Structure 1
Amino acid sequence: MAFYSTTISTNNDLADIYYPKSSALNSGTYCFQIALLLQGALLDKSFYSDYASLVARYGLVVVVPNNLRPSPFNPTSPPNLVSQTSQIAPVLSQMAIENTKPTSPIAFVVDTQRLGLLGHSFGGAVGYRDYIYYQGDALDPNLRVTTVAVPEPSSNPPSAL
């Protein structure tokens, strides 16, 4: 597993991108799905480094952007780190760029037609709410979106489901 940092060009969000590391990574035999991780409110992308690394080991390109936006409760306050599903389109655009840029560590290995949406706390609620209400209709109809809420990275997974 490896990662690098970049800026999402359409919205200027800083993002860390985690990806599976293999000696044959750019051999043309790999194609990794994107997983966008929507953070909990006020949490920096670095909080998720261990979790994003773990998910990337399963064969996903995990994008963890810092999304600064005005507070919905106090619009005059400075912007805060708050996830929103409007991050999906800019992340997909950036992944298309990264996938075709020869100098990118993930060049030619990203499946830009599939997106997994991970969320923690507020980010999980936002992703789940928007997917349930909109069923992905606001997105490209050819894009398959899956929404999963995950526990805090520091918590133990449930012993039974």
Structure 2
Amino acid sequence: MRAVRATTAVAAALALATSVLPAASAAADEDAPIAFATTVNGDPADVYAPAASDIRTDLPVALLLQGANVSRSAYSAYARAVAGYGFVVVVPDHRRVIYGQSGLFPEEAQASWTVAWARDEDARAASPLKGRIDTGSLVLLGHSFGGAAGLALTTGACAPPFCATPAAAPAELKGAAFFGTNNSPPGGSGNPPVANTVPVALVQGTADGLAAPAAAQGTYEAIQAQPKMLVSVTGANHYGITDAQNPAGAAPDPSAQTVTQETSVKASARWSAMFLRTVLGDAWSGVWLWGVGDAVDPSVTVQHVR
């Protein structure tokens, strides 16, 4: 069903009320957000989190599963933006061979590896995040191939090529938000049912020339468990969440993006983060997500069922 747009008066009131939401806070302007390199099960990874002076503790972990052959370095702006809403964002480079080709191809097992990393990092004496990580809460972000791997994991199924070995979803997994992602079979018609066990949001660029908006619509309709959401970012293409268009090594999008990279990154990060904060139980995020966000954000249109 279509999200109902709030009246101007209600939107203004709710916008004022949500000014207390922990988005990119003033503290982050005064103190540098945390960013450091690590390894997750041997994979090099970058970590982004709110500044050490930020009053928020028990930060949930968001694992960002990269697009095929898109380096982790291409997601720095998006990852920083999501982290500003109160997450520890982990962006690994996972290299493996599929169909005889070696490349950066994420897989479902990375979720459990990231849960183990979070426990170790939260306890590590020298960590800038010591004692600040909510080790019981994991959410997924994903782009293209990585989003498809994450979507498969939300069903608890091992789906090649996104699963090299059987990998059940960890108990800590609470929700997911994927960009440029669908489950449409190549050259096929229709979308197989998505028997998801956690809430899922799809964020889709309307100008995507590699993952068609119609395929995202079909996938959204195939998602079985609620709440679910489809956020269409006007003018964004397949690389609307990367630092620049057509990152080196990745398949270029033949469809040009018609909004700035900053606009598409911020809109995608905002809606992904607010959806995930809501499913993690943050009431104020839910007020914005379900009641006012679509009315005050001109860069998107939204469908949801909850």
TM-score, normalised via structure 1 length: 0.84
Residue 17 (structure 1) aligned with residue 47 (structure 2):
yes
* Alpha-carbon distance change, 130 to 104 in structure 1, aligned in 2, over 3 angstroms: same
Q: Which residue of 2 aligns with 1:68?
A: 95
Alpha-carbon offset, residue 133 of structure 1: 5.0
* Alpha-carbon distance change, 131 to 140 in structure 1, aligned in 2, over 3 angstroms: closer
- Between the aligned partners of 1:160 and 1:41, the Cα distance in structure 2 is 27
Q: How does 1:74-93 map to 2 (within 5 A)?
A: 74=100, 77=101, 79-93=102-116
Higher relative contact order (CA 8 A, sep 6+): 1
- Between the aligned partners of 1:5 and 1:37, the Cα distance in structure 2 is 14
**Preserved CA contact (<8 Å) 2:34 2:52:** no
Q: How does 1:119-138 map to 2 (within 5 A)?
A: 119-134=142-157, 138=168
- Between the aligned partners of 1:24 and 1:133, the Cα distance in structure 2 is 35
The residue type equivalent to 2:95 in the other structure is L
Q: 2:178 aligns with which of 137, 142, 149?
A: 149
Residue 107 (structure 1) aligned with residue 130 (structure 2):
yes
Query: Tell me, which stretches of 5 or more residues in structure 2 are unaligned?
Result: 1-32, 158-166, 180-203, 205-239, 242-260, 268-298
Structure with bigger strand share is 1
- Between the aligned partners of 2:156 and 2:116, the Cα distance in structure 1 is 24
The residue type equivalent to 1:139 in the other structure is A
- Between the aligned partners of 1:131 and 1:139, the Cα distance in structure 2 is 7
Alpha-carbon offset, residue 129 of structure 1: 2.2
SS of structure 2 residue aligned to 1:51: helix
Alpha-carbon offset, residue 130 of structure 1: 2.5
Q: Kindly, what percent of the aligned residue pairs are identical?
A: 34
Runs of 4 or more, structure 1, over 6 Å off, are: none
Q: Which residue of 1 aligns with 2:117?
A: 94
Q: How does 1:30-49 map to 2 (within 5 A)?
A: 30-49=57-76
Alpha-carbon deviations, 1:92-122, whole Å to 9, x = none?
A: 1111111001100110000111111000111
The residue type equivalent to 1:144 in the other structure is L
RMSD of aligned alpha carbons? 2.1
Query: Tell me, which stretches of 5 or more residues in structure 1 are unaligned?
Result: none
- Between the aligned partners of 1:140 and 1:133, the Cα distance in structure 2 is 9
TM-score, normalised via structure 2 length: 0.46
- Between the aligned partners of 1:115 and 1:62, the Cα distance in structure 2 is 10
